[in-house]
Amino acid sequence: MSETPAPRPISRRGAIGGLAATVGAVAVSSVVTAAPAHAYNWTRTMRRGDSGADVRELQIRVAGWAAASPSRTFIAIDGSFGPATEGAVRRFQSAYGLGVDGIAGPQTHTQLNWLESSDGSTRHFAWSEFHSRDGSGFGGGRVGTATVRENVRRLMYKLEAVRRKGGNNACIINSGFRSIRHNSNVGGSSNSQHMYGIAADIRINNRSVSQVISYSQTSGFSGIIRYNTHTHVDSRVEYAYGAQSWYWAV
Ligand code: ZN
């Protein structure tokens, strides 16, 4: 059941539609080791009280472990390692079978990087799954292409947590980013969070909509909407793109 880091092929996913590969990407290590080729170069053990760009990246990666039970809370991506970040690190460690101490040391670094793909996406999701379905990639939204891409990257890490809570069954993206045009074509709301790259409509194999909702309620999502066959999740409060109130229609 437990998945542990192991060497893997560098690339298995499609191109990212001509986007500059460095846009929104995290720093990469130039050191040749057994770690993934494009793993984030964590340089220190991080604990409560620390701050910096690496803490910020840590927060992005553990944001889906925001709470132990349904709770309207999210991990602020502010580069400051406080109690909320520590709690998320603890839950992340527990979920992956690591020693639970709330301190991001070498074992936690390795597990965090195991979740990262060489193209900057995450292990179980591909950029293309989140592209606007009208062929516009990450363009034509309410924020610029690079911002959409970074928002999608952060969304992917939250969805990695949801997927993990769902027993590692496949998480299918029915809709990710939508261009303004595409959102209009599919009848999306005029301020749909999909147009910013912070929303996804998902389902998980072998899990009910109710189960997916319960996982989402501990994963830092401030927008959760139940549909017959899927669940909409977004981070509307965290990003404040014109919809800053919690909205759980579950
Ligand atoms: Zn949606």
Parallel, antiparallel, or unpaired for β 247-249 and 231-234?
Answer: unpaired
Share of the chain above pLDDT 70, in %: 85
Ordered by start, the domain boundaries in the chain are 21-114, 127-249
Q: Which two tokens stand for residue 168?
A: 């590692």
Ranges of residues in the chain with a pLDDT under 50 are 1-3, 7-37
Which residues crowd ion ligand 1, with CB under 5 Å?
201, 232
- Is 127-249 in the same CATH topology as 21-114? no
**The residue to which tokens 């999210």 are assigned:** 74
Instruction: Indicate the SS3 state at residue 17.
Output: coil
Q: Measured in angstroms, how far is the CA atom of residue 175 from the centroid of ligand 1?
A: 7
Q: Measured in angstroms, how far is the CA atom of residue 194 from the centroid of ligand 1?
A: 6
DSSP label at residue 25: P
Q: Measured in angstroms, how far is the CA atom of residue 73 from the centroid of ligand 1?
A: 20
Q: Measured in angstroms, how far is the CA atom of residue 226 from the centroid of ligand 1?
A: 10
Q: What is the CATH number of domain 21-114?
A: 1.10.101.10
Q: Measured in angstroms, how far is the CA atom of residue 200 from the centroid of ligand 1?
A: 5
pLDDT at position 243, please? Answer: 84
Q: How many whole angstroms separate alpha carbon 171 and alpha carbon 56? A: 26
Q: How many whole angstroms separate alpha carbon 148 and alpha carbon 144? A: 6
Q: What is the CATH number of domain 127-249?
A: 3.30.1380.10
Contact call for residues 207 and 237 (beta carbons, < 8 A): no
The predicted-structure confidence for 143-174, as pLDDT tens digits, reads as follows 999 999 999 999 999 999 999 999 999 999 99
Q: Measured in angstroms, how far is the CA atom of residue 170 from the centroid of ligand 1?
A: 18
- Centre a 10 Å sphere on the Cβ of residue 53 and count the other Cβ atoms it contains: 10
Q: Measured in angstroms, how far is the CA atom of residue 81 from the centroid of ligand 1?
A: 31
The predicted-structure confidence for 241-250, as pLDDT tens digits, reads as follows 988 899 999 9
One-letter amino acid for residue 48 of the chain: R
